[in-house]
Amino acid sequence: MSDFLTQFGEDLKKNVPGFIAVSVAEIASGMSYYSQSVVADFDPELASAYNLEVVKAKMNAIKALNLQGQVVDNIMITLSTQMHIIDVSDNQQYFIYLAVDSTKANLGMTKSILNKYKKEIATKL
């Protein structure tokens, strides 16, 4: 698990233009399994803790609206100079939280890399 997450983090840092921070957390407990930031005062574990509430709220909204068969795939929050992407694993047990500089990021490339890893996270954690 550790080697997988280390490789995951290094791959994102190397291949995602504008990379700021990443965290992988469990939805049920909120426990962060991995985090990394290239900005000293940006705490991805703290950001994940707050964004866990966003994920849970969306999951509760899906239940309340009786949207049977629907699951959260991803949530994107756009700030003035950053994009925050919350990508939920295929088994709905984990999420990847990624922050990027919106002036440098390539959204298509970023989502492609995240899609690769979110499938693996469901089986390797």
Q: 22-81 pLDDT, tens per residue?
A: 999 999 999 999 999 999 999 999 999 999 999 999 999 999 999 998 999 999 999 999
pTM for this entry? 0.92
CA-wise closest residue to 83 among 97, 94, 66: 97
Average pLDDT of the residues in 7-32: 94
Asked whether 97 and 47 are in contact (CB, 8 A), the reply is yes
Sort 24 into a burial class: Cβ within 10 Å, 0-12 / 13-18 / 19+.
Answer: buried
| More confident call, 61 vs 3 | 61
Give me the pLDDT at residue 87, please.
95
Asked whether 55 and 72 are in contact (CB, 8 A), the reply is yes
